[in-house]
Amino acid sequence: MAIRKIKLTIAYDGSSYHGWQRQANNLTVEEVLSDAISALVGQEVKVQGASRTDAGVSALGQAATIEIDSPIPTENLAKAITDRLPEDIVVSEAVKVPGDFDVVSDVKSKLYRYTIFTGKVRPVLEIRNVWHLPVKVNTEVMNEAAKYLVGKYDFKSFASAADTRESSVRTVFRCEVIREGERIYFDVEGDGFLYNMVRNMVGTLVEVGAGRWNPERVKQALEAKDRTKAGSIAPPQGLCLIWVKY
């Protein structure tokens, strides 16, 4: 049998996990997925993910690759892996990809969605996947401010100090705020994101929506390249990786 490279599409509720990337002393999605696949095919399998989602962050369309030497047909892999996973993780698709496919560097864009619930009563059935923020916010001025974040910029002001990547330049293709009743959605599409970048963008736009900042201050924060000039970080549970495009 020849070794196959397989791209997986994975959805998970991140509430019970310390993020995607394997860690020594904390349970992560990558670890659980890798253990399940390794047990299925009878050999140790390394899983490489497209996005290192933070602790508590969820996904509907995380992408990852594995290389396996197994008689299990590719079309049966998604179900076979899912059968060995806990209920809060599922592999929705498995497809064979060329050997030179790189799940990280071949990414064209990613879409993250952040959800805020503004109703007065805590939404107990959704609380693991929304930020409950029972305040009035103006989504029109938030959208005005969000326009300053669209384009190719140095997003250092919106990156965690723990982000040690050489370049903090990223391209944001779309950043918009959508209100549906008591729910507010922040959709942010870009070619890549820094550590905590989306959550820091959301926290900053909330300052605008609550009337504490004017929209132009977001532009000033971006240009400052200084984390202390942007707003506070939004909680992790409202964030979800919707898809990764190649």
147-198 residue pLDDT tens: 999 999 999 999 987 777 789 999 999 999 999 999 999 999 999 999 999 9
Evaluate if residue 1 carries a pLDDT over 70.
no
Backbone angles phi, psi at 91, to 5 degrees: -95, 115
Taking only the tens place, the pLDDT of each residue in 193-227 is 999 999 999 999 999 999 999 999 999 999 999 99
Query: According to the model, what pLDDT value does residue 183 have?
Result: 97
Give me the active site residues, please.
54
Q: Are residues 114 and 227 in the same domain?
A: yes
Taking only the tens place, the pLDDT of each residue in 7-29 is 999 999 999 999 999 998 999 99
Q: Are residues 119 and 89 in the same domain?
A: no
- Which residues have C-beta within 8 Å of that of residue 121, sequence separation ≥ 6? none
Listed residue (225, 85, 77, 106) closest to 155, CA to CA: 225
What's the half-sphere exposure (Cβ side, CA atoms, 13 Å) at 18? 8
3-class DSSP state of 188: strand
Q: What is the pTM of this model?
A: 0.95
- Cα separation, 74 vs 180, in Å, equals 39
Report, in angstroms and rounded to the nearest whole number, the Rg of the chain calculated over CA atoms: 19
**Final residue in a domain of this structure, among 97, 126, 148:** 97
- Residue span of the structural domain in which 124 resides: 109-245
Query: What CATH number did the domain enclosing 27 receive?
Result: 3.30.70.580
Taking only the tens place, the pLDDT of each residue in 92-128 is 999 999 999 999 999 999 999 999 999 999 999 999 9
Q: Are residues 135 and 204 in the same domain?
A: yes
Q: Does residue 102 sit within a domain?
A: no
- Cα separation, 187 vs 175, in Å, equals 6
- Cα separation, 202 vs 239, in Å, equals 10
The token duo for 168 is 């903090």
- Which residues have C-beta within 8 Å of that of residue 33, sequence separation ≥ 6? 10, 47, 64, 81, 85, 89, 91
Evaluate if residue 48 carries a pLDDT over 90.
yes
Evaluate if residue 58 carries a pLDDT over 70.
yes
Q: Are residues 180 and 207 in the same domain?
A: yes
Query: According to the model, what pLDDT value does residue 135 have?
Result: 94
Alpha helices in the chain (DSSP H): 29-41, 74-82, 139-146, 197-209, 216-224
Amino acid, single-letter form, for residue 170: R
**Final residue in a domain of this structure, among 57, 73, 97:** 97
Which pLDDT band holds residue 67 (cuts at 50, 70, 90)?
A: very high
Q: Are residues 31 and 115 in the same domain?
A: no
Mean pLDDT, the chain, rounded, equals 96
**Final residue in a domain of this structure, among 71, 97, 123:** 97
Number of independent structural domains in the chain: 2
Q: Does residue 103 sit within a domain?
A: no
Q: Does residue 104 sit within a domain?
A: no
∠ Cα 74 15 82 (to 5°): 20
Q: Are residues 221 and 151 in the same domain?
A: yes
Query: According to the model, what pLDDT value does residue 166 have?
Result: 81
